[in-house]
Amino acid sequence: MSALRLDGTAQNIPASRRFVRATLRTWDLGAYLDDAEIVTTELVANAHQHAFGASHPYAGQHAWLALIRKANALLCAVADPSPRAPVVGPDDPLAEQGRGLHIITRLSESWGWSHPTSSGKTVWARVPTIAGTGGHTTGVSRAGGDRAPATPGSARRHRPGAGPNTRALLGV
């Protein structure tokens, strides 16, 4: 596991990209940089917009980005102080906002969030990897079907309180 403290400023987004690139190269997972970087950028941007925007009471607080290496996946998680659960909006590819969770759906095997509490929540996405190969799984068939569903919104999503509790893993 590798973690980065986020201070709630716009600089978090480029800092998170650098962090993902450095971490995945260290873990010899460079083949997954593109998907992991995009997924992480969307998670961090959502935390920035919804937890640290000018009209939100969490300015001055911090969030955490964690990358957790699993046998066949990379778990990207962002814990932020907002208790509001993510909301998936309409899938409009021409929209200027509101596409992040749709992008995460397409690039990840699954995604979800911890049960929101007064201290916040963790939103996570699981990016599939092939252990020991360094190969990319996009478009590759594997046991159980394709890497990711081709239709919007059909990826497995975990409801609040289901799946791994990444806040506990992160200790926040």
Per-residue model confidence as pLDDT tens digits over 10-36: 899 999 999 999 999 999 999 999 999
Q: Where do we find the tokens 């300015």?
A: 59
SS3 label, residue 16: helix
Q: What burial class does residue 154 get, using C-beta atoms within 10 Å of its C-beta: 0-12 exposed, 13-18 middle, 19+ buried? A: exposed
pLDDT confidence of residue 131: 55
pLDDT digits (tens, 9 = 90+) for 67-126: 999 989 999 999 999 988 998 888 877 777 778 899 999 999 999 999 988 889 999 999
Q: pLDDT, tens digit, for every residue of 38-78?
A: 999 999 999 988 888 766 677 678 899 999 999 899 999 99
Q: What pLDDT does residue 93 have?
A: 77
Residue 58 confidence (pLDDT): 75
Count of helix runs (H) and strand runs (E) in the chain: 4, 8
φ/ψ of 54, rounded to 5, equals -55, -30
Does the structure show a pLDDT above 50 at 154? no
Distances (CA, A) of 65 to 75, 92, 168: 10, 27, 13
Q: Which residues contact 8 (CB under 8 A, 6 or more apart)?
A: 48, 51, 52, 58, 59, 60, 61, 62, 63
Given this model, what pLDDT does residue 72 score?
A: 92
For residue 69, what are its two tokens? 């290496």
